[in-house]
Chain A
Amino acid sequence: MIKEQNEPWQSGMAKSITFIVTKDCQLACKYCYLVGKNSKERMPWEVAKQAIDYILDHEDEFREESVVWDFIGGEPFLEIDLIDRICDYLKQEMFRRNHHWFNSYRFSFSTNGINYDSEKVQNFIKKNINHLSIGITIDGTQRKHDLNRIWKTKEMEQGIQPKPEEEKGSYKDVVRNIPLWLEQFPNAGTKVTISSADIPYVKESVLHLYSLGIHEVNINVVFEDVWKEGDDKLFEEQLMQLADAIIDGGYYQDYACSFFSEHIGKPLDAKLDNQNWCGAGKMLSIDATGNFYPCTRFAGYSLRSKKPIIIGNIRDGIDQNKLRPFLTLDRTTQSPKECIDCEVASGCAWCQGENYDAAETPTIYQRATAICKMHKARVRANNYYWNKLFRKLELEGEREEYEKSKKKSNEVIC
């Protein structure tokens, strides 16, 4: 009756292992946190193979029930030949070793969707369709998408930014591939990122994505400190309008938008609700030189002002001491008092990498609070959404049925 977000595959039971196959991308999205993208750092096959051998050789260090082999860039499908070779090798080796991950694995991609219909990518998809998750990022309407997701130019590689009138948006190059993608992955969701300039287009963008046939829109505001005075009010207004549109239009039955969740905006107990939000450290990321990171956000190309946190490499293995801070990190130890005492704390997310990058010292134990006012705006609109929706369900005699069928939580942890 009310569509809820799909949980990620094997949520909480799968190890996420990310190959940074390239730092290149066809686009130069303005909100991209990858500040060090370049066309030179591509993962050699030998590095990928050595990484796989290390991981599969050390089965006792990777005890999770399942694995998500994740591929990230830049744009990962720029390296489709390498990815295909990696995936073939993974399958062969997991089978040959009778590894506990064989038959419990996924290949996962977040792509800009531009070369989704290319022959090589399509052949790869057909070959691996039963073990594949692919998310195409489309930000909403053309004007919202093209505001940020613009094509990279040669001048940009030399640090020269184009004039606004010279910017070329990528909407049309992506949207043409959406029908094929939805045909192959009917339950797929898209990821939408909201920065300051995007706020006026939130409502129209979510509804536009619904109209394209995308039933699940995972949307979040950027964690970086980009917010201007008044952004929270504008954001709140957009979400209120979106709430009205979703409820009045009956979209809530078949479509989900991650902005609205019954479980956000409540106080959190300092002891019982003390878990870390972010999964950094439980994941593993590998770059082109064979270095290991607790998450891609700790690789050099993701960091504005801090040194990368390298937790090992394919030759020497993982330095378990470097993982200890990540695996013992909890909510209250890294949060300022205002967050611990916050009456609408639940659902307020953070990114460990952004926390580290923004911290006053090189620590992962200082929570960045740049999204505070945006979260509070979201909570106000979210309260409005559920009050309005519940009243509607009550009037239509459907509230009881909803309460019986609802999931416990639909918050997705990174």
Chain B
Amino acid sequence: MLQYLIILLDEASTPFCSLTPCPSDPPTPFRGRKEGGLIPLETLRQGIRFGMMENLMIQYVYPDKELPKEYLEVIESIDHSKIRSLPLTPPKEGGTEVDVWVTESIKDIKADVPVVWRTDKQSLFNSEADIIKALENVPRLNIVLTDIETFIEEDFEKYKSLLEKLSKAIEQMYVDGKAPQLNLLTDRMMLSKMNNCGAGDTSITLAPNGKFYVCPAFYYEDETDCVGDLEHGLDIKNKQLYKLEYAPICRHCDAWQCKRCVWLNRKTTLEVNTPSHEQCVVAHLERNASRELLNNIRKHGSFLPEQEEIKEIDYLDPFDKRDTWQ
């Protein structure tokens, strides 16, 4: 069921998930974004109206630039959350507080709201110390890998090793009475069912052109790949395929923290409901590291007593176990 409407306030709004650029895209601070302008004010008003009528929680995705005053008034006309890039010029007036910061640099970040760090694998593997430092300075850190599809065996090993090191650091923070949140390691400990991106199922995106898209990545990749518009409403063909029950691999999986990015699915396997091998292995390395973390924290005392143990498994890709559920 749809719950969220993501509104891109500008054609160059901040990418906040795994969207990667076309090779031909010119380099920009945030890869994948388009050159362009603000969403027309009337389109924004209509989008908000649509969200209100459909009972959707609105999430605005900001560009790097300041918005004109008339936009701020319209934006504030409805309850919402804000996603924008970090750093940002300090707000001059009220009403521009942020709910999620997005950054492409992990160095010296400090915030009192959750931070999304978009990174490629190479930067990630080299940033152990910066990540640990960041965990001390933000209430929550979401690390979003932008090049999962390029992982090879060597990268899986490096990722596993990094997660082990981060797990040790987080364990110590818990022992010290802190409660850091790192999506890759702490989410799975807290979850009791799948908690994925939800694009096309629980969320939909409105682009500045007045058309709906499954998520921002679909818009950035191909503007014609829309699923309706403000004039005619939503028209998501085969919308069942965005639901977990219609994802043969995922519905048998317990790497519940996996982003299950439908855009990346389609890019790598040509189907929105089928993850790539690389996506599955990355998610299972996180799952297994979460298992170790949970077990280790519990050695220090009672921790999340209502949460079931994360079971030990002998695979990293549920696809390899398909004979057991087919």
If the complex has contacts A321-B277, A361-B237, are A328 and B270 also in contact, measured as CB distance less than 8 A? no
If the complex has contacts A330-B248, A333-B248, A360-B238, are A365 and B319 also in contact, measured as CB distance less than 8 A? no
11 further A-B pairs in the complex, CB-CB below 8 A; given A328-B322, A365-B273: A321-B269, A321-B278, A324-B274, A325-B269, A325-B273, A325-B274, A328-B319, A330-B248, A360-B238, A362-B270, A365-B238
If the complex has contacts A360-B237, A360-B238, are A320 and B270 also in contact, measured as CB distance less than 8 A? no
Q: What total of chain B residues lie within 8 Å of the partner, measured CB to CB?
A: 20
Q: Mark A356-372 against chain B: 1 for CB-CB distance below 8 A, else 0.
A: 00011111111000000
Q: How far is the CA of A164 from the CA of B313 in the complex (A)?
A: 66
Question: What would 10 A/B residue contacts be, using CB atoms closer than 8 Å?
Answer: A309-B270, A322-B270, A324-B274, A324-B275, A324-B276, A360-B238, A362-B270, A365-B238, A365-B246, A366-B238
Taking CB as reference atom, which chain A residue is nearest B274? A325
The reply to whether B268 and A321 form a contact with Cβ atoms under 8 Å apart is: yes
Which residues of A are found within 8 Å of B270, using beta-carbon distances? 309, 322, 325, 362
Q: Mark A334-367 against chain B: 1 for CB-CB distance below 8 A, else 0.
A: 0000000000000000000000000111111110
Which residues of B are found within 8 Å of A1, using beta-carbon distances? none
Taking CB as reference atom, which chain B residue is nearest A328? B248
Which residues of A are found within 8 Å of B271, using beta-carbon distances? 324-325, 363-365
If the complex has contacts A321-B276, A325-B270, A330-B326, are A361 and B248 also in contact, measured as CB distance less than 8 A? no
Taking CB as reference atom, which chain A residue is nearest B278? A321
Which residues of B are found within 8 Å of A360, using beta-carbon distances? 237-238
If the complex has contacts A309-B270, A324-B274, A325-B270, are A363 and B319 also in contact, measured as CB distance less than 8 A? no
Q: Is B204 an interface residue (CB 8 A)?
A: no
Which residues of B are found within 8 Å of A321, using beta-carbon distances? 268-269, 276-278
Task: Kindly identify which residue among A275, A320, A327, A363 contacts B238, using a CB–CB cutoff of 8 Å.
Answer: A363
Which residues of A are found within 8 Å of B241, using beta-carbon distances? 361, 363, 365
B276 to A: closest C-beta gap in Å: 5
**B window 286-326: CB within 8 A of A:** 319, 322, 326
Q: How far is the CA of A328 from the CA of B320 in the complex (A)?
A: 10
Q: How far is the CA of A394 from the CA of B49 in the complex (A)?
A: 72
Taking CB as reference atom, which chain B residue is nearest A275? B326
Q: Is B249 an interface residue (CB 8 A)?
A: yes
The reply to whether B322 and A320 form a contact with Cβ atoms under 8 Å apart is: no
Q: Is A34 an interface residue (CB 8 A)?
A: no
Which residues of A are found within 8 Å of B237, using beta-carbon distances? 360-361
Q: How far is the CA of A38 from the CA of B204 in the complex (A)?
A: 44
Q: How far is the CA of A327 from the CA of B319 in the complex (A)?
A: 9
Top 6 A-B residue pairs of the complex, sorted by shortest distance between their CB atoms: A328-B248, A360-B237, A325-B271, A325-B274, A321-B276, A361-B237
Taking CB as reference atom, which chain A residue is nearest B247? A333
B278 to A: closest C-beta gap in Å: 8
Which residues of B are found within 8 Å of A295, using beta-carbon distances? none
Q: How far is the CA of A327 from the CA of B274 in the complex (A)?
A: 11
Q: How far is the CA of A328 from the CA of B319 in the complex (A)?
A: 8
Which residues of A are found within 8 Å of B276, using beta-carbon distances? 321, 324
Q: How far is the CA of A327 from the CA of B249 in the complex (A)?
A: 10
**A window 151-170: CB within 8 A of B:** none
Taking CB as reference atom, which chain B residue is nearest A307? B270
Most chain B C-beta atoms within 10 Å of own C-beta, residue among A275, A324, A359 = A324
Q: How far is the CA of A330 from the CA of B323 in the complex (A)?
A: 12
Q: Mark B219-248 against chain A: 1 for CB-CB distance below 8 A, else 0.
A: 000000000000000000110010000101
If the complex has contacts A321-B277, A360-B237, A365-B246, are A327 and B322 also in contact, measured as CB distance less than 8 A? yes
- The prevalent SS among residues of A at the interface is loop
Which residues of A are found within 8 Å of B272, using beta-carbon distances? 363
B266 to A: closest C-beta gap in Å: 9
Q: Is A329 an interface residue (CB 8 A)?
A: yes
The reply to whether A324 and B249 form a contact with Cβ atoms under 8 Å apart is: yes
- The prevalent SS among residues of B at the interface is loop
Q: How far is the CA of A274 from the CA of B275 in the complex (A)?
A: 21
Which residues of B are found within 8 Å of A333, using beta-carbon distances? 246, 248, 273
Which residues of A are found within 8 Å of B269, using beta-carbon distances? 321-322, 324-325
B268 to A: closest C-beta gap in Å: 5
B90 to A: closest C-beta gap in Å: 45
Q: How far is the CA of A320 from the CA of B277 in the complex (A)?
A: 8
Which residues of B are found within 8 Å of A320, using beta-carbon distances? 277
B246 to A: closest C-beta gap in Å: 6
Q: How far is the CA of A322 from the CA of B319 in the complex (A)?
A: 13
Q: How far is the CA of A333 from the CA of B247 in the complex (A)?
A: 8
The reply to whether B277 and A328 form a contact with Cβ atoms under 8 Å apart is: no
Which residues of A are found within 8 Å of B278, using beta-carbon distances? 321
If the complex has contacts A333-B246, A333-B248, are A324 and B238 also in contact, measured as CB distance less than 8 A? no
Which residues of A are found within 8 Å of B248, using beta-carbon distances? 328-330, 333
Most chain B C-beta atoms within 10 Å of own C-beta, residue among A320, A322, A328, A330 = A328
Q: How far is the CA of A303 from the CA of B268 in the complex (A)?
A: 21
Most chain A C-beta atoms within 10 Å of own C-beta, residue among B237, B248, B319, B322 = B248
**A window 298-329: CB within 8 A of B:** 309, 320-322, 324-325, 327-329
Taking CB as reference atom, which chain B residue is nearest A366? B238
B204 to A: closest C-beta gap in Å: 16
**B window 138-193: CB within 8 A of A:** none
Most chain A C-beta atoms within 10 Å of own C-beta, residue among B249, B271, B272 = B271
Which residues of B are found within 8 Å of A330, using beta-carbon distances? 248, 326
Q: Mark A128-166 against chain B: 1 for CB-CB distance below 8 A, else 0.
A: 000000000000000000000000000000000000000
Which residues of B are found within 8 Å of A325, using beta-carbon distances? 269-271, 273-274
Q: Mark B190-219 against chain A: 1 for CB-CB distance below 8 A, else 0.
A: 000000000000000000000000000000
B317 to A: closest C-beta gap in Å: 9
B207 to A: closest C-beta gap in Å: 19
Q: How far is the CA of A309 from the CA of B269 in the complex (A)?
A: 10
Q: How far is the CA of A329 from the CA of B273 in the complex (A)?
A: 11
Taking CB as reference atom, which chain B residue is nearest A329? B248
Task: Kindly identify which residue among A322, A328, A365 contacts B249, using a CB–CB cutoff of 8 Å.
Answer: A328
Q: How far is the CA of A412 from the CA of B269 in the complex (A)?
A: 28
A127 to B: closest C-beta gap in Å: 39
A359 to B: closest C-beta gap in Å: 7
Q: Mark B255-273 against chain A: 1 for CB-CB distance below 8 A, else 0.
A: 0000000000000111111
Which residues of B are found within 8 Å of A327, using beta-carbon distances? 319, 322
Which residues of B are found within 8 Å of A364, using beta-carbon distances? 271
Which residues of A are found within 8 Å of B319, using beta-carbon distances? 324, 327-328
The reply to whether B277 and A359 form a contact with Cβ atoms under 8 Å apart is: no
Q: How far is the CA of A329 from the CA of B249 in the complex (A)?
A: 9
Taking CB as reference atom, which chain A residue is nearest B319? A324
Q: How far is the CA of A330 from the CA of B246 in the complex (A)?
A: 10
A89 to B: closest C-beta gap in Å: 32
